Structure 1
């Protein structure tokens, strides 16, 4: 989950000139009050003040908020959360104000974070915050998740409402993180919560759809199941907007994943969703073989722009591209027994990468059973549930940064100084952030 994979994606997008077909915006850093629209104020406050140097003083809080093991404390943790969450919030706001049809935040998609704790490399759940923004203008929002891991944090956040339908395609198993997401779970609530909130339980029943899959699912099986289920969901639920989490750990060769999806198969899901012509917010997510992540999200940026990319690298705009992207898009792939051999192009010539191909344990009968169970659950929901009219809550006021208000006698640390430097080649050739027609 290191940001390096985002740098690689960024530079591939620039190298293919895809940024020239979009409007690109630098998002604001989400304020604590914005993060607290979902997360508890004490949890947000703790993220704000914890640092690697002081964490030894907060052992009880670290355990309480799960900032251990797969959610370590690192330098500038809170700023990192502010940036990726701010991107998803701003993307939702631009969709709400009809300033774009599709908005992309590849840095977002951290779907495991809970109201009061971090989980699975996720500290702030930007997806929940983005959906809450969309709900200000849309009666119903559809959330779709194609990460190899179950989107438990988003599903849990909308336990008791029919205004958000969550659909997660994922590997399911007791020993596979997070261990949730069975097809039989039509309402994601613990029994004791449901017992206390029975009336609210009824509202959320059948609006959490899980598609649990086994190791080794391939493009054909995955995309067929995806198209059937999502088409039926859109028909029945009639969402006003869609949020699509494109976790790339469902690709073949991922370090943590166990599916056999190709980049084309993964991108086919994006094509299917795009064809509904609904306001669409697209985010990243997991992905632990970073070269594959960058290639996948670059191809999917092209899909959202109706731009087909050639396999090889057409040209390199700067040496920075080679610095961050030492391997480019797949030029050719062949299969040899159970080993996929991918030929990768870079400056130096040909590279060979060997991936183990998982045996596909998803039989036709198993997939048919899953499909029938999901469709049966869909028949139980209220067709396009309504919502009472109410005043739209205003967006939070975001104060502008005024350099004149800085104290010239106050020494800034190096990190603060670096943040004020704008690289000439960061996004564009001109001088204006908004010179360029889709958000990223």
Structure 2
């Protein structure tokens, strides 16, 4: 998860002009206290002692779980959808025993593929039984096969669970030609999943995830930013400081160069879809959650704006000027780190 990856994505978003269609909010730096909302004190203390000599693994702090915990202060039911090539094991484990969060993960499943979890029979337990949905897929799945299972599964989930908010993890390692992935999705195919979820018109938090071929991650998340904004953009990439990374085609949607045969038969995908449907039928109705008064923001270190907003009279309309105070000023929107890293080498280890 190299920070340089974000600089390249940021550059594309800026040079396409997409930032002009957004309201940009400045987050504050998370503290150890924030991270301990989910993780143990001992674990966070250990992470603070990590050095380049003893670092291993993919993700250390489950920011998505912390975000969902915050959403649960405001929403009765939160749906988590994961289209990363790896199983969304951390979020599933966090909410395995509750019916307020349904986790749905589409991933490669096999004995030798990290993390080795995500069998279709992992369905949750206790109050969360049937609220964990797993769609284990085989290598080489293409756009059409992915749609065959993604769209009906999500449609069923929406009908049975009736979420009031959605968190969509757009891991780009499910794209064709990812260094660690084994799927064959195109950027358009990946984006079609984002668009499908967007069109339910339910409050949506879209986040990144895996993705280990830098140029493809940048293309994918830039394109999906345009979809979320409903702002068409050209297939020809605009000039930017990382343009050489996208040679030789310099396009947003490169051709898919399938490396392996699609091992997912139509019958296999139909069987998975049927299994998911049968489990979801066990949820007789969407869970009834008594909503409480929403507590105030407990995060230390948050700026004074949150306190100001909390103190406002709820019966008085907030003026546009006051709302704009929470938005990032245009001159604060920087255009990425001007580092001199050479283009991504597809033969280099991740």
Residue 326 of structure 1 deviates from its aligned partner by 6.2
- Partners of 1:272 and 1:16 lie apart in 2 by 23
1:153 aligns with 2:75: no
Change (3 A) 1:397 1:218: closer
SS of residue paired to 2:11: helix
CA contact (8 A) 2:34 2:299 kept: no
Q: 1:304 to 1:10 in 2, by over 3 A?
A: same
Q: Is the Cα contact below 8 Å between 1:248 and 1:286 reproduced in 2? A: yes
Q: State whether residues 15 and 321 of structure 1, in contact with CA within 8 Å, keep that contact through their aligned partners in structure 2.
A: no
C-alpha change, 1:138 and 1:172, in structure 2 (3 Å) is: same
Matched, 1:374 2:276: yes
Residue 323 of structure 2 corresponds to residue 431 of structure 1: no
Moved more, 386-395 or 294-303: 386-395
Which of 179, 183, 190 is the aligned partner of 2:116?
Answer: 179
Moved more, 127-136 or 21-30: 21-30
Q: Please point out which of 128, 144, 165 is paired with 1:204.
A: 128
Give CA deviations for 1:288-326 in whole Å, capped at 9, x if unaligned.
11100000000000000111221112x42x5x3447766
**How many angstroms does 1:4 deviate by?**
1.5
Alpha carbons of 1:234 and 1:283: their partners in 2 closer, same or farther (altered >3 Å)?
A: same
Query: Are the aligned partners of 2:82 and 2:88 in contact in 1 as well (CA < 8 Å)?
Result: yes
Q: State the distance in 2 between where 1:157 and 1:34 align.
A: 16
- Given that residues 99 and 131 in structure 2 are in contact (C-alpha distance below 8 angstroms), is that contact kept between their aligned partners in structure 1? yes
1:143 paired residue number: 80
Residue deviations 1:173-205 (CA, integer Å, cap 9, x gap) = 111110000112212xxxxxxxxxxxxx32110
Q: Is 1:170–2:70 an aligned residue pair? A: no
- Structure 1 position 128 matched with structure 2 position 65: yes
Superposed CA RMSD in Å reads 2.3
Change (3 A) 1:175 1:298: same
- The structure that is strand-richer by fraction is 1
Map 1:353-392 → 2, pairs under 5 A: 355-392=257-294
User: Quick one: distance in 2 between partners of 1:331 and 1:396?
Assistant: 43
Q: Do the aligned residues in 1 keep the contact of 2:81 with 2:169 (CA within 8 Å)?
A: yes
Q: Counterparts of 1:140 and 1:298 in 2: how far apart (Å)? A: 29
If the length of structure 1 is used for normalisation, what is the TM-score? 0.67
**Which of 251, 254, 269 pairs up with 1:329?**
251
- Quote how far apart the aligned CAs of 1:394 are: 2.3
- Determine the C-alpha separation between the residues in 1 that align with 2:328 and 2:27: 16
Gaps of 5+ in 2: 305-326, 334-350
SS in 2 for 1:144: strand
Query: Match for residue 197 of structure 1?
Result: none
Distance 1:331 1:50 in 2: 38
Deviations along 1:238-267, one digit per CA (max 9) or x if unpaired, are 101000000000000111111110000000
Contact 2:184 2:258 in 1 (8 A): no
2:31 and 2:131 map into 1 onto residues whose CA distance is 30
Equivalences, count: 310
TM-score by length of 2: 0.83
Moved more, 3-12 or 140-149: 3-12
For the 8 Å contact 1:249–1:288, the answer to whether it is kept is yes
CA 1:321–1:175 in structure 2 vs 1: closer, same or farther (change >3 Å)? closer
1:34 and 2:49 matched: no
The whole-number CA distance in structure 2 between the counterparts of 1:140 and 1:389 is 10
Aligned to 2:307: none
